[in-house]
Amino acid sequence: MKRLLLPLLAALALPTAVNAETIYLECKFVEYEPLVELAINPNADKGTIRTISNSTGESSYKANQFIKSDSYSLKAMTSTGTSTYTVSRIDGSATSYYELSEKYKKLFPENVAKFRNGSCKKKEKVETLF
C-alpha cells in the first residue's frame, strides 16, 4: 500500500504541462485597407503580425506579446515605427496604434501617430500536406 500511495501523491502534487495551441485572429480596422492577421502563442512571449494588402503586398513582423485575462496585445518594431495591436478576449473588439520612429517624425509631422478601432475574429487553421 505504501508503494502505491507515494507515487500517487507525487503525481497529484506535480504540475501538469499546458499544451495551448496558437490562436489565429483576422482583424479589420476602420479606414484601413490591409487585412491584419495576428498569431498568438500562449506558450511563448512572441507572436506574429501579418498585414495583407492588394496595393502594397504582404508584410510580417515578429512581435512581443502580452496576454492578460481580458486582452491580447502585440507590439512590433517595423521599418518605419512601432505597431501595437490590442484585442479584447471578451468581444473581439480591437485597437491599432501606430507611431512613427524619430527619424520619420521629422519628415512626416502630420502622420506621427495613428489610432484605429476595429474587430477581430478567430481564423481557422488551414491544414496543409507538408
DSSP state of 8: H
CB 23 within 8 A of CB 125: no
pLDDT for the residue numbered 1: 59
Instruction: Name the nearest CA neighbour of 89 among 73, 65, 111, 110.
Output: 73
pLDDT for the residue numbered 78: 87
CB 52 within 8 A of CB 58: yes
Beta bridge partners of 46: 64
pLDDT for the residue numbered 42: 87
Q: Where are the alpha helices (DSSP H) in the chain?
A: 2-13, 102-105
pTM of the model: 0.76
* pLDDT tens, the chain, 130 aa long: 556 665 655 665 655 555 578 899 999 998 888 899 999 988 888 999 999 888 878 889 999 999 999 999 999 998 888 999 999 999 999 999 999 888 888 888 777 788 999 999 998 776 666 6
